[in-house]
Amino acid sequence: MRIPKTGLILAALTVSGLCYAATTIDQVGQRFTQSALLVSNGETVWFLNFDDVVHNVSVFDQDDVAIDKGLQKPGETIKHLFDKNGRFKVRCSIHPRMKMMVTVR
């Protein structure tokens, strides 16, 4: 899925009377555009690859268990639903300096 580059996007979707929020994080210059993010429990974060290289997004929980979101080619988008409270590390396994922290409340 391709989404036009617009920086940080906050959106809310209503499905069956429930509201779901979504946030986007760009990847530019082999870095996430934010080093930290605060989201609500149940929010989806979309990671957009605007680099000209492949990334591999992984989300680590409090026990350091990784959820590997797979390879992400240039122009592709990967999403992750944060449905548990806590602090989560997000990293690119290909580029070790690419890291950020997501806090879920």
Q: What is the mean pLDDT of the chain?
A: 86
Three-class SS of residue 102?
strand
Percent of the chain topping pLDDT 90:
79
Kindly tell me if the per-residue pLDDT of 67 is higher than 80.
yes
Task: Please state the pTM of the whole predicted model.
Answer: 0.79
For residue 83, the surrounding DSSP H or E stretch is none
Find the CATH number of the domain harbouring 62.
Answer: 2.60.40.420
- Domain containing 85 equals 10-104
Per-residue CA distances from 3 to 7, 65, 91 (Å): 11, 29, 21
Is 51 domain-assigned? yes
Distances in whole angstroms, Cα of residue 23 to Cα of each of 10, 53, 63, 65, 81 = 5, 22, 24, 23, 10
Is 4 within the bounds of a domain?
no
Question: Under DSSP, is residue 38 helix (H, G, I), strand (E, B) or coil?
Answer: strand
pLDDT at 49 over 80: yes
Residue 5 is assigned to a structural domain of this protein: no
Number of structural domains found in the chain? 1
For residue 64, being part of any structural domain is answered with yes
Residue 16 clears pLDDT 80, i.e. is over it = no
71 within a domain of the structure (yes/no): yes
Q: Which of 35, 36, 22, 74 is nearest to 53 (CA)?
A: 74
